Amino acid sequence: MVNAASARARALRRWAGRGLAALLLLLLPLLLTNALLWLFHGATVAQLTPVWSDEIIYWHEALTFARAGFDGGYYAVHEVPAPLAQFRFNAWGPFVPAFYGSFAALFGWPPAAVPVVNLLVGGAGLVALLAADGWRWRTLLVAPGLLLLSIPMLIFAPAAMLERTQHGVALLVAAALVAWRRQPTAGRAWGLAALLAAAALLRMTWALLFLPLCWQMFPAHWRGRAAALVVSGGLLLAFLLLNQLTASPYPSVLSNILTLATTDPAAAGGALLASIGESLAYMLRGHPLEVHQRAQVLLAAGWVLAGLAWGGRRGTLTAEKARRLVWCAYALLAIFVLNVLLYDFFDWRDYRVIAPYLVLVLALAWLWRLRGLLALLLLTTLPLLPTAYLTFRAWSADYVQPERRAQVVALAGTWDDVLRYQPGAEPWCNTVLSTLRYFFADTGVLLTLPPGLGITMILDENAQPFPPQSAYLLLDSGFYERHGGRLRLAWLRDVPGGALYRNLARTCGPP
């Protein structure tokens, strides 16, 4: 009886210690970000406010999902909705708004909500790393270094975008992968597959990892290899198709090539070659951190491939070590090549897409004790850390501007007399078409629009169809002077730099 009681007490202390460690890691990204904001600006995470177009849409879509589910207005560019028009959200589809909107429905949705959720997902990823590492206390010591030395996780910490959640997803995938390779059961393999599927709903690039997963799950003969290629390729195409059907179109290399492929395959091939040439031309251009990440990915991939070749030639490479190195090399090269072929190498676009895979490989290098790769990643990061912290300080200053916050506070709740969500109405009757000014300058206007209303963007006024379909138009004075004569409008109220109008070409009931 004494021994049993003692064993129970030890187990209780062990689980209490693990619970405390898990809570600390869950909150660690939030605490470190708060400390940096206070150090640089005397501000806190609670003062963060979305700054520019994507962030505004991420934040407002979540609010609309919490209020109206899938029955809100349209979020789109130039009023072009998704092919499956019952899905009314922006170019990332309906699953990101559903993810953030679930938190909004449960806990409310202040302006700082997106980065708070992102940082908590990152903390959950750290807890998963701790569990995958056998609840060793050294992980508690490594975790702050991982956050402070990983440039993508640092600079995107205050952003109201999906990036920091993607970094947390990378940590979760790393932990699940390590757990499966340590004990390669079917249950753990299917668990990793389910995690990748959920991650691919948020960003379809995670579907790239189905290939190495299927390759190692299926039998090692030609039929198994063929099945792995077919299944992983089918899953990748399925997630691509799902995104194309449920997301509103956005002008991009991929959308241009896919459109041309259905009408003029030769032109699609030319567009692909042009994209490759442009990507290579921009490889050494951009912010120093952008160029650094591209070089770091290629250098790390080269190091891993060299290790595979050297170890294989000398016969010192075990089968499991080879599998681990293949995972790292594939992750780095697959996402990099995909960006060269089908995405943009400027304006931080390739950086945002590649960074989660770099975080994944960094976590794998730690958990698998790939010391050479880990040292390479850390040593190539250190020279750019001063630039990274200067970038964090400059970017985060925009997120804590008192003027921006004051505009949000001043406009909040002032729309009810002219603008409100109408449940069950035709979607365009719950949609506001806005010029670019309100996505980048007076952003408080869009942030305070009532939940349930969709927001469509005039990205290029020469590409905007007339007459507009949206019931409401938020126009800056310059756009109104140039195009007001083509529109049938009723003035509703003035806003900074312009006015809100009712579109008389769209018949809707009173708000």
pLDDT digits (tens, 9 = 90+) for 13-29: 778 888 898 999 999 99
* Higher-pLDDT residue of 49, 6: 49
Contacts of 471 (CB under 8 A, 6+ apart): 428, 429, 430, 431, 432, 502, 503, 506, 508
Provide the pLDDT for residue 511: 67
What's the whole-number mean pLDDT along residues 143-147?
85
Question: What does the pLDDT average to over 81-106?
Answer: 95
Q: Please state, as a whole number, how many other Cβ atoms lie within 10 Å of the Cβ of residue 171.
A: 28
Least confident of 236-240, 343-347, 364-368: 343-347
pLDDT for the residue 1: 54
Lowest mean pLDDT among 57-66, 75-84, 291-300, 502-511: 502-511
Token representation of residue 245: 């059907």
- Contacts of 98-101 spanning 24+ positions with Cβ under 8 A: 98/65, 99/165, 99/202, 100/58, 100/59, 100/61, 100/62, 100/65, 101/61, 101/62, 101/63, 101/64, 101/65, 101/66
The C-alpha atoms of residue 131 and residue 129 are separated, in whole angstroms, by: 5
pLDDT at residue 265, rounded to an integer: 79
The domain ranges of the chain are 50-110+401-511, 184-247
- Provide φ and ψ at 48, rounded to 5°: -65, 140
Q: Residue 259 above 80 pLDDT? A: no
User: How confident is the model at residue 2, as a pLDDT?
Assistant: 54
The secondary element (H helix, E strand) that includes residue 400 is none
3-state SS string over 293-325? HHHHHHHHHHHHHHHHHHHHHHCCCCHHHHHHH
Residue 313 is predicted with a pLDDT of 82
Mean pLDDT score across all residues of the chain = 92
For 422-450, what is each residue's pLDDT tens digit?
999 999 999 999 999 999 877 889 999 99
Q: Is the pLDDT of residue 204 over 90?
A: yes
pLDDT in tens, 227-245: 999 999 999 999 999 999 9
pLDDT > 70: percent of the chain: 99
In this predicted structure, the answer to whether residue 129 has a pLDDT above a threshold of 60 is yes
Chain segment 160-178, per-residue pLDDT in tens:
999 999 999 999 999 999 9
Q: Where are the beta strands (DSSP E) in 373-469?
A: 431-434, 454-457
Over the stretch 439-497, which tens digit does the pLDDT of each residue have? 987 788 999 999 999 999 999 998 999 999 999 999 999 999 999 889 999 999 999 99
Question: Terminus-to-terminus CA distance in the chain, angstroms?
Answer: 72
